[in-house]
Amino acid sequence: MALKDFFKNRQLKRAAKLHQKQGSATAGNISELKAKSAIDDALLCSLWTKCQGCNELLYTSELKKNLSVCKKCNFHHRLTAHERIEQLIDYGTFVEINDDVLPSDPLNFTDLKSYKERLKDAQQLSGVSEAIITGIGNINNQLVSIGAMEFQFIGGSMGSVVGERITRLAEYSTEKKLPLIIISSSGGARMHEGILSLMQMAKTASALKRLHEEKLLYISILTEPTFGGVTASFAMLGDLIIAEPEARIGFAGRRVIEETIRQKLPKDFQTAEYLMENGQIDMVIQRQTLKQIVSDLIRLHTQNIKKKRFSNNGSDKTIFEKILARL
Ligand SMILES: [Zn+2]
C-alpha cells in the first residue's frame, strides 16, 4: 500500500468511528468525508515527493531546502525556470525583461489539437508565458543577464519567441557589457512552428558571436534534459559549459541513434559525466555549489579584463587607477 493510501484509510476509519459514536453517520456526512479525504489526499501528495532516483519518499520541504537534490542518492530533481532563478540570483534583485515578446501561431498549426490551444494549456500549466524567462539580476552582488528555460512549457522547446528572447538578452548583454548565463532544459526545436523554429538556431548563434567579439563571458548551464536544436545552437556555444550531474545531453535521442547505427550504446551515453570525459563540456557541478562557482568564474573573468585594460593603457595609468578604485 502506498503511504498516502495508508494515511487516507486511517483518516477515513477514524472519522467513521467518530460519527458512529455520535450516531450521526448520515449520507451527508459520508459525502462530506469523501470531499475532505480528496483535499487531504492532495495535501499529502504535496507533503511528500517520491525520489525519481531511488524511489524513496522524501519530505517535500526538506527536499526543497536541499535545492531539490535527494540526500540519499544525490538525484537532481527537475526545477522550474523560477526556481532556477531563485537559486542562482540574489534575493529580490531579479528583473524580468522581454516578457512582452509573446507567442503566436504563424503557421495556423493543428495536430491532435490546435497550437493556439497548446500554448494556452502550457501557459496555464507552467505559469509562464513562454519556455524561457530572461532578465537581469545579481549573483553575489555582480550584475548578470540570465535566461532560464522552463521544461514544463511544451518540453522547453525552442520556438520563435524563445529564440527572440535569447537573442535580445544576448544583445542586451553586449550593449550593457554584462556576463550572460543561460540555463537550458529542452527537448529541441518546436515542431509547431516549423522552419521558424529552426531559424532560431542561426539567430541565437549570431547574437552570441557578437557577444563573444566584445570579449564578454557567456556561461551555459545544461540541465536534464538538453536535446535537439538547443544543444545544436546556443547551449553548446558557451565560453564555459557547465552541466548538472547525470543530466542527459545530446542531439538525437539514444533510441534513434541505436536504431540508425544498429549498435548498442554505452550505459552512460549522453550523460553529463560521459560528455565531460569526452571533452564536450567543461565541468559537472553539484547544484549546491553552482552559484558560488558561477560567481567565482564571473569575478575571475571581470578581474582579468580589468587587468588587461589597465596594462594596455600605461599612459592613462592614473585615470584607470581612479576608475578601478571606484569599481
Ligand atoms: Zn533519491
Do 153 and 284 share a domain, yes or no?
A: yes
Among candidates 243, 244, 92, 227, which has minimal Cα distance to 156? Answer: 227
Between the alpha carbon of residue 286 and those of residues 122, 138, 220, 247, the distances in Å are: 29, 20, 15, 11
Q: Read off the pLDDT of residues 226-250 as tens digits, 9 standing for 90 and up.
A: 999 999 999 999 999 999 999 999 9
Mean pLDDT, the chain, whole residue set: 88
Q: Which long-range contacts (CB under 8 A, 24 or more apart) does 26-29 make?
A: none
**Grid cell locating 283:** 565541468
Does residue 146 contact residue 137 with C-beta atoms inside 8 Å?
A: yes
Do 41 and 94 share a domain, yes or no?
A: no
Does residue 238 sit within a domain? Answer: yes
Do 139 and 199 share a domain, yes or no?
A: yes
Q: Read off the pLDDT of residues 100-154 as tens digits, 9 standing for 90 and up.
A: 999 999 999 999 999 999 999 999 999 999 999 999 999 999 999 999 999 999 9
Does residue 133 sit within a domain? Answer: yes
Do 132 and 31 share a domain, yes or no?
A: no
Instruction: Give me the residue label for grid cell 560567481.
Output: 295
Do 79 and 162 share a domain, yes or no?
A: yes
**Grid cell locating 323:** 576608475
49 CA → ligand 1 middle, Å? 10
Give the orientation angle of helix 27-47 with respect to helix 3-22, to 10 degrees. 150
Does residue 57 sit within a domain? Answer: no
Residues with Cβ–ion distance below 5 A, ligand 1: 51, 53-54, 70, 72-73, 75
Do 20 and 148 share a domain, yes or no?
A: no
Do 256 and 126 share a domain, yes or no?
A: yes
Does residue 322 sit within a domain? Answer: no
Does residue 58 sit within a domain? Answer: no
**Helix-, strand-, coil-residue percentages of the chain, each rounded to 5:** 50, 15, 30
219 CA → ligand 1 middle, Å? 28
Instruction: Give me the residue label for grid cell 569575478.
Output: 299
Strands 240-243 and 142-149: unpaired
Phi-psi region at 179: left, alpha or beta (left = phi > 0; alpha = psi -120 to 50): beta
Do 44 and 191 share a domain, yes or no?
A: no
322 CA → ligand 1 middle, Å? 53
Q: Read off the pLDDT of residues 21-51 as tens digits, 9 standing for 90 and up.
A: 655 545 555 555 555 555 455 555 689 999 9
Question: How high is the pLDDT of residue 127?
Answer: 96
69 CA → ligand 1 middle, Å? 8
Do 79 and 31 share a domain, yes or no?
A: no
User: Is residue 89 pLDDT above 80, yes or no?
Assistant: yes
Domain with residue 273: its CATH number is 3.90.226.10
Do 277 and 208 share a domain, yes or no?
A: yes
Range of the domain at 183: 75-315
222 CA → ligand 1 middle, Å? 21
User: Is residue 307 pLDDT above 90, yes or no?
Assistant: no
Does residue 38 sit within a domain? Answer: yes
CA dist 289 and 286 (Å) reads: 6
Question: How high is the pLDDT of residue 35?
Answer: 54
76 CA → ligand 1 middle, Å? 9
DSSP letter string, 56-101? -EEEHHHHHHTTTB-TTT--B----HHHHHHHHSPTT--EE-STT-
Do 136 and 193 share a domain, yes or no?
A: yes
273 CA → ligand 1 middle, Å? 18
95 CA → ligand 1 middle, Å? 34
Domain count, the chain: 2
249 CA → ligand 1 middle, Å? 21
